[in-house]
Amino acid sequence: MFRYYYINKEWIVSSTARHIYRTAAGLSVALFFGLWAIQVRGGIPADVPAANLLLFIGVLGAAITVVAMEYFLFGFDRSPEWKKVCWFCIMLLPLIGPALYCFIVYSRAAVVMANTIDRTTHA
């Protein structure tokens, strides 16, 4: 079915992937609110030496979330087409859109939950 895809199905729907994507979505939300706070405050304070590291971690989490959730939306989501279009438009909002999709749709999807339940019962 997915012979031309470079990403394995287990990389998207396994319980480990679910934890990674939820963590990345949390980092994306943290980056969103962090950037908002920086704009309200007027810039990055000079006494925060770890600001570049925190910014890098947030951007990495946002990138992982965008790629994984777009891949899930087009490859595994079994919602009606009009819902997919609505979520695609929401996911165009930087940082917060893919994170919302991850928390609301991906985490509750039947294919993800079935794989998570199978892993916990056989462990």
121 confidence band (pLDDT: 50, 70, 90): low
Rounded Cα distance between 38 and 90, Å, is 24
- What is the per-residue pLDDT across 19-64, written as a single tens digit (0 to 9) for each? 999 999 999 999 999 888 888 877 766 666 777 788 899 999 999 9
DSSP state at residue 10: H
Q: How high is the mean pLDDT of the chain? A: 85
**C-alpha dihedral (77, 83, 66, 107), degrees to nearest 10:** -60
Range with top average pLDDT, 3-7, 23-27, 92-96:
23-27
| Residues with Cβ within 8 Å of residue 64, at least 6 apart in sequence | 20, 21, 24
Around Cβ 64, how many Cβ atoms within 10 Å? 19
